[in-house]
Amino acid sequence: MGLRLLVIEGNTRGARDIHKAAFGQMPSESYAAVLSRIDPDTVCDLAFPADPGANLPDKAGLESYDGIVLTGSHLSIYDRTPDILSQIDLMRAVYASRTPAFGSCWGLQIAAVAAAGDVQKNPLGREVGFARRLVPTEAGRAHPMLAGRPDAYDAPAIHLDMVSVPPPDCTVLASNRVSAVQAAEIRHAGGTFWGVQYHPEFSLGELAVILDRRKAILVAEGFCRTESDAAAFVADLATLQEDRQRADLAWRHGIDAEVLDSSRRTREIANFIHHRVKPGKSARGRA
């Protein structure tokens, strides 16, 4: 029997629709596709806790899954609006279910706040395009989530908020100069969460679509001089998605195999499947 996973989408309906119109899939759908490529027998259900009146699984329903994955989001958790509070409550239920859980960006932030940590706007500003020179901590070098990652690596990223106060039972696994918490294991209420602040699930093509909608931000925040420069960067990423042999573009933007090679880019997600989900399935008698 294959894996049964729940993908929890952090975005509101409007944001999901905009992404799907531009990319062809909602973020949760593209994340599910990544999970299915890692393990072709995987079946993914999707949940939308930001939607008013969403029918969400309770603790027993969450326990029925082999693993749970949380996507990114356009929301800022310190706003504490109803669509955010519902997600914090759901994450607390995820911990209580003890089902293996993993999250990217917003997923890490939700997991931190649900376990009594804090998230705030990064005083250093936005990290956009790629998180550069991610360095595993001493704990991270020995942790199975980062197995196979080199001593320093880059990954797709876009976020303005960061985990400012780690939860009480948290092990930081990777950092860089922009965010002290770039990867972490969080233990709370009997459950264990693995997460990253970056987006290993993003292909260069999906990243290009996201940045194309944010060209004005890239200019306003000084990443590009003009919107034409921003459009050229987006076009280069889209070209690299279609032709990984464009060494000139990879060199121009400092993109190496840790990003270009999909199996290396998604390593944390694959490690979660192989080191947490599959062993957990066996331990709970589901093999």
Residue type (1 letter), 78: Y
Angstrom distances, CA of residue 91 to CA of 63, 242, 269, 270: 13, 36, 18, 21
| Cα–Cα distance measured from residue 217 to residue 232, given in angstroms and rounded to the nearest whole number | 15
> Is the distance from CB of 194 to CB of 95 less than 8 angstroms?
no
> Is the distance from CB of 130 to CB of 158 less than 8 angstroms?
no
Active site residue 201: yes
Residue written as tokens 């990290």? 127
**Strand pairing category for 67-70 and 4-8:** parallel
| Cα–Cα distance measured from residue 108 to residue 174, given in angstroms and rounded to the nearest whole number | 13
Q: Residue 201 — φ and ψ, nearest 5°?
A: -80, -15
| Vertex 34: Cα angle to 189 and 74 (nearest 5) | 65
Considering the candidates 29, 185, 201, 258, report the single residue annotated as catalytic: 201
Considering the candidates 19, 143, 159, 199, report the single residue annotated as catalytic: 199
Active site residue 199: yes
Residue 232: alpha-carbon gap to chain centroid: 26
| Cα–Cα distance measured from residue 116 to residue 197, given in angstroms and rounded to the nearest whole number | 17
Considering the candidates 44, 105, 170, 224, report the single residue annotated as catalytic: 105
| Cα–Cα distance measured from residue 235 to residue 17, given in angstroms and rounded to the nearest whole number | 23
> Is the distance from CB of 35 to CB of 269 less than 8 angstroms?
yes
Catalytic residues: 105, 199, 201
